[in-house]
Structure 1
């Protein structure tokens, strides 16, 4: 059931109370709950957590809604806003009861190129929204930060899981990663500022019948279009690698390190190679969707943006690291699949120009 503040807010807004047998909760860093109320309304309520985010996220979402509602849009859709309280970080929209996510379709191979094309068109419309700069100033995101890729504070080390320590060990032995992040942030700051979602993932794209609905606008701001484009590409990259977790691949034995030290090929090495090989095959299968996404994007956003594709590939690389960081935080090791994802992320981040065509982003 919702916490007392959400329940009180919904009641005062005139929607009644959630019917207990209709309530659904969703995972995430914020409290997300949906259900049908006694007034017959289907509601999705979010309460933003974190003292530094309460209010700001709700205000950003409301700012997007005000801006987008005033412009003629053919492709960009979002959940219908119903009520909000920035002081308590509560935002309420209409609940799309029978939808699923684009992430679900990508995972099971049913996200068709035409759906990807429509997602590109929607993102192109977002980045083409007309807004005076003073109403939507550039607002940098805190990550990626090259400093945390070079050294950890004592508190960060103590709070890290064994899986995270294993990832930090890989990253901090490779200064090219931190340097590539530094260059990416410089390129981002020099790029034209446009309205961006800034925290886009495929599980935030809802498939409602024939429509795609983009949700979770709490990070909306002025920024580099490459961050959003790269997030979509990064999602395909990440899922191309981790999707093989359901397949059988060589197990990593306890003697892997000893075999490697003796000059042989360890079971960890064989597992990594097999994971990478299968990931490449999955990525090849996803390439038509990526190409359609890029073409759909450019069919709507016609404004020139030099270097967009290269920056987008680099942001896609960072997206993989971000996903692996989140997964490793709860693990006692770093699995072959996540090592492979980090390797793909490193390649995209360090040499992005070499992979624009590989990823079907020539149109961008």
Structure 2
């Protein structure tokens, strides 16, 4: 889930600030990795400052610095390191992740092995190359994570509830958010706050998740967090790792394909503008039928790893998938003067999934 969508007020740093910084140089030196001065050095885009490249010692590294202007940055850093310790203590079946080379708590830095020729799941999906087998493997990996005992962790895992959905925002948004919101963002919050049924459903979802046994969970599982390299699927970016409702991870993966079904209607922006709301919904149903197999395969791999999974998990996961569409609408609205038809349609489909998850679960591929 796009946790950054509610925190843009604190995103103030310019691109490339980490590259060439004394903190980066000192960090790499302490790790014995040498200097990052190769021609392949680059600064990927993202919510945090990061740099990739080959060091003078020949090590391929990806270094990220958590944005200290965000109040939860220390917690995010701790979750990244905590996951590495957790996975090292008891390796999770079928789950691969880039090797952590080192971490600096004071500077909020983490260095990973750089998989320079890996392809993101998001890119594979865009090229229609994210196969059912990859979805099945993802399900197996996440199922393995959910069934690994938290007792294996060297230190207690984070038990704080995830930020999203932000039910308090459904009553009133903070003044800082209001001041920095685009016209489209204000339209979004107006729609959500005036929808009594959706507000009740999201509040109920948060209440239900607090009553189920929590498991080690990624809590931000998106296609761009998956890397494919040399016949191995890696799961990355563990800033939100904690004990949580397993339905969150299942719902995030399912929600990615649900969102893609809407996003692909059609790809040409000029044609999109000519479509009515009903046209978008009709094409979305057709596209969802085509992509549904990814969720079916993921769900099969997940249940194979976990064992018996109750229908209530599928229902909660479907509701989280619906929220995923609404969250994507919020993210898309951040830079828009007004809310477009595509985002309204996506939110409408998401709303249906949140309100009637038991009926919608089969539709998106999470059958009992």
Distance 2:230 2:279 in 1: 37
Q: Does 1:171 pair with 2:189?
A: no
Choose the corresponding residue for 2:163, options 102, 117, 142: 142
Number of equivalences: 347
Choose the corresponding residue for 1:335, options 319, 334, 340: 340
Choose the corresponding residue for 1:19, options 37, 46, 53: 37
| Secondary structure in structure 2 of the residue aligned to 1:38 | coil
Q: Does 1:346 pair with 2:351?
A: yes
Alignment of 1:72-111 (within 5 A): 72-111=91-130
Distance 1:142 1:47 in 2: 21
* Bigger Rg over Cα: 1
* Shift in Å, 1:175: 1.2
| Secondary structure in structure 2 of the residue aligned to 1:32 | strand
Aligned equivalent of 1:128? 147
* Shift in Å, 1:13: 1.5
Choose the corresponding residue for 1:217, options 229, 238, 248: 238
* Shift in Å, 1:273: 1.6
Query: Residue 79 of structure 2 contacts residue 158 of structure 2 at CA under 8 Å; is this kept in 1?
Result: no
Distance 2:171 2:127 in 1: 37
Query: Residue 68 of structure 1 contacts residue 129 of structure 1 at CA under 8 Å; is this kept in 2?
Result: no
Query: Residue 266 of structure 2 contacts residue 272 of structure 2 at CA under 8 Å; is this kept in 1?
Result: no
Query: Residue 192 of structure 1 contacts residue 305 of structure 1 at CA under 8 Å; is this kept in 2?
Result: no
Distance 1:329 1:27 in 2: 17
Aligned equivalent of 1:257? none
Aligned equivalent of 2:328? 323
| Secondary structure in structure 2 of the residue aligned to 1:15 | coil
Q: 1:361 to 1:274 in 2, by over 3 A?
A: same
Distance 2:321 2:328 in 1: 11
| Secondary structure in structure 2 of the residue aligned to 1:52 | coil
Unaligned runs of 5+ residues in structure 1 are: 253-266
Q: Does 1:238 pair with 2:256?
A: no
Alignment of 1:1-364 (within 5 A): 1-49=19-67, 50-132=69-151, 135-136=156-157, 138-247=159-268, 271-302=276-307, 304-305=309-310, 307-363=312-368
Query: Residue 107 of structure 1 contacts residue 243 of structure 1 at CA under 8 Å; is this kept in 2?
Result: no
Q: 1:154 to 1:294 in 2, by over 3 A?
A: same
Distance 2:122 2:205 in 1: 26
TM-score by length of 1: 0.90
| Secondary structure in structure 2 of the residue aligned to 1:21 | coil
TM-score by length of 2: 0.89
| Cα RMSD for the two superposed structures | 1.9
Query: Residue 196 of structure 1 contacts residue 220 of structure 1 at CA under 8 Å; is this kept in 2?
Result: yes
Unaligned runs of 5+ residues in structure 2 are: 1-18
Distance 2:27 2:272 in 1: 51
Q: 1:137 to 1:13 in 2, by over 3 A?
A: closer
Query: Residue 146 of structure 1 contacts residue 179 of structure 1 at CA under 8 Å; is this kept in 2?
Result: no
